[in-house]
Structure 1
């Protein structure tokens, strides 16, 4: 198949690394001349992703997407955490920063085995590997599978995070319902992920300062700008989280978010998804109502993964979109 341009080598028991058009590394195992489950058509493909993709649980259950969750805790606190809402509530009330870590390999292995029992092949769509140890943990879990199972599992680095990663996962699910084999699905996802954009507003920069993500000499001026109603707009460009500009939002950053979406949707219709960190219900409803009046197909809204929200703090809003 044309997608496999270079670096193709066959091994009987060890992996080959295959570099695709965009230069992003994907692992595909024990491949011999496009034979076997990975190269074939008419093959059922199941999906595994990590919780950073932010897809609501009712939707992942409906689509039979297996989700691997991240451990979350508050240091020195014995708090039972069941939902992201509870995390952001505790952060607001106690001024504490939550801690997270990559899922242990055993969680990924369990998810692989569950999907392997139902599908011919499993595609694992992951948070950008430079953001955390998630990809390494997923790879470690792959190493623990037997030879036959390893040949049926492919890891895919989305190079995205949060709802941007979620859009890639939903696109993958859509493609599994076509006659494409896994290799063609991966090729399509490589193209699709380049079209996905993400921007975000942070309610209060103090959380970035608490977590050590924003330091002097930048912390002081950034807080001064925030008090003046100027906030940084954050996005992902070339796999890196970056400040994409400064927006005059005043205290009403919901209005600023809607204004930005309106500007983007005037170019052409958008498909979008929204993640928020414990946004008050009235603010969330206002955001949804504002989007209804635009040329935007809102696929879902969800609580922001604590992997990101523990750093950016309660009130953060992230929007992923593509044309």
Structure 2
């Protein structure tokens, strides 16, 4: 059996120390701000990025670069390794199609190479949890095909509950209407969002007030987890430069889920450009994405 590597893209929001320790390959997604493109060697700190949005700057985003995809995969092929790439949802970005096209091209040229591009139909640490599980299975001796089979079987068990602090960022991305954003902001309405089985970010309700929105996504998580409450594994909290609220959510999770291991990280700019400062998400294993 040929050796293989596990790769993903920067929208997975995995902690840098995990990526380095487990040698996970990362293909960057990009964002543009003030006529400068970031995502490779050049990057803003999370504080700089989200403060620029608070100041009224409107970043735009770009998917992965075909040239970077080609060079990354070619390097592994030249080392005699196959690749399992776990991609950001194809319903949210063109990155999956870019990677799949690059993989096909290389496999046509190097006929003994295998590059499996797996559509996570997920985002942020919902996608990152899949990578972590794939790494765990690889370390347990599972083959590339066995890991792919496991991911297919459990695709709908990787769940995300999400809320944002500012509706206007969702309105810019076409997630809510301008009128909804205006009226909702006036009366302090906060949306609850999920990523559905098709990998799309969709509304799953509204509540009034920030505090209520945070407790609601935790309550929804508990409902979705079902039997996973007995073995919760890792639960992830992601935030748009809102560390205090993220810690509040961690506290709520630990009150509700005994034995949970919780990871906290900042939402990457190429997602944060659409969710905005103050966004909070929970990524976890559950019985079904829409089971709320």
Q: 2-side partners of 1:266 and 1:184: how far apart?
A: 26
Equivalent of residue 234 in structure 1, options 167, 175, 193: 193
Q: Specify the alignment match of 1:245 in structure 2.
A: 205
Equivalent of residue 155 in structure 2, options 169, 174, 193: 193
Aligned with 1:110: secondary structure? helix
Equivalent of residue 100 in structure 1, options 61, 69, 77: 61
**Residue 313, structure 1, aligned to residue 276, structure 2:** yes
Task: State whether residues 54 and 163 of structure 1, in contact with CA within 8 Å, keep that contact through their aligned partners in structure 2.
Answer: yes
Deviation digits for residues 23-71 of structure 1, max 9, x if unmatched?
xxxxxxxxxxxxxxxxxxx442211101111111111111110111112
Name whichever structure is richer in helix by fraction.
2
Q: Specify the alignment match of 1:113 in structure 2.
A: 74
Q: 2-side partners of 1:186 and 1:242: how far apart?
A: 26
Q: Specify the alignment match of 1:151 in structure 2.
A: 113
Q: 2-side partners of 1:148 and 1:71: how far apart?
A: 28
Q: 2-side partners of 1:277 and 1:71: how far apart?
A: 17
Aligned with 1:218: secondary structure? helix
Equivalent of residue 70 in structure 1, options 19, 29, 43: 29
Specify whether residues 211 and 241 from structure 1 end up closer, same or farther in structure 2 by C-alpha distance, changes over 3 A only. closer
Q: 1-side partners of 2:56 and 2:112: how far apart?
A: 44
Specify whether residues 135 and 266 from structure 1 end up closer, same or farther in structure 2 by C-alpha distance, changes over 3 A only. closer
Aligned with 1:197: secondary structure? strand
Deviates further, 311-320 or 203-212: 203-212
**Residue 85, structure 1, aligned to residue 47, structure 2:** yes
Q: 2-side partners of 1:148 and 1:48: how far apart?
A: 19
The structure with more radius of gyration: 1
Deviation digits for residues 190-235 of structure 1, max 9, x if unmatched?
012211111101011122234454324433443344x2xx421100
Q: Specify the alignment match of 2:135 in structure 1.
A: 173
Aligned with 2:106: secondary structure? coil
Q: 2-side partners of 1:206 and 1:43: how far apart?
A: 49
Aligned with 1:145: secondary structure? helix
Alignment of 1:252-291 (within 5 A): 253-261=213-221, 268-269=229-230, 270-271=232-233, 272-279=235-242, 281-291=243-253
Task: State whether residues 161 and 221 of structure 2, in contact with CA within 8 Å, keep that contact through their aligned partners in structure 1.
Answer: no
Task: State whether residues 237 and 246 of structure 2, in contact with CA within 8 Å, keep that contact through their aligned partners in structure 1.
Answer: no
Task: State whether residues 7 and 85 of structure 2, in contact with CA within 8 Å, keep that contact through their aligned partners in structure 1.
Answer: yes
Aligned with 1:247: secondary structure? strand
Specify whether residues 295 and 264 from structure 1 end up closer, same or farther in structure 2 by C-alpha distance, changes over 3 A only. farther
Q: 2-side partners of 1:68 and 1:49: how far apart?
A: 6
Q: Specify the alignment match of 1:35 in structure 2.
A: none
CA RMSD of aligned residues (A): 2.7
Specify whether residues 261 and 186 from structure 1 end up closer, same or farther in structure 2 by C-alpha distance, changes over 3 A only. closer
Q: Specify the alignment match of 1:203 in structure 2.
A: 165
How far does residue 134 in structure 1 lie from its aligned partner after superposition? 0.1
- In the superposition, the TM-score normalised over structure 1's length comes to 0.76
Q: Specify the alignment match of 1:219 in structure 2.
A: 181
How far does residue 136 in structure 1 lie from its aligned partner after superposition? 1.9
Task: State whether residues 81 and 113 of structure 2, in contact with CA within 8 Å, keep that contact through their aligned partners in structure 1.
Answer: no
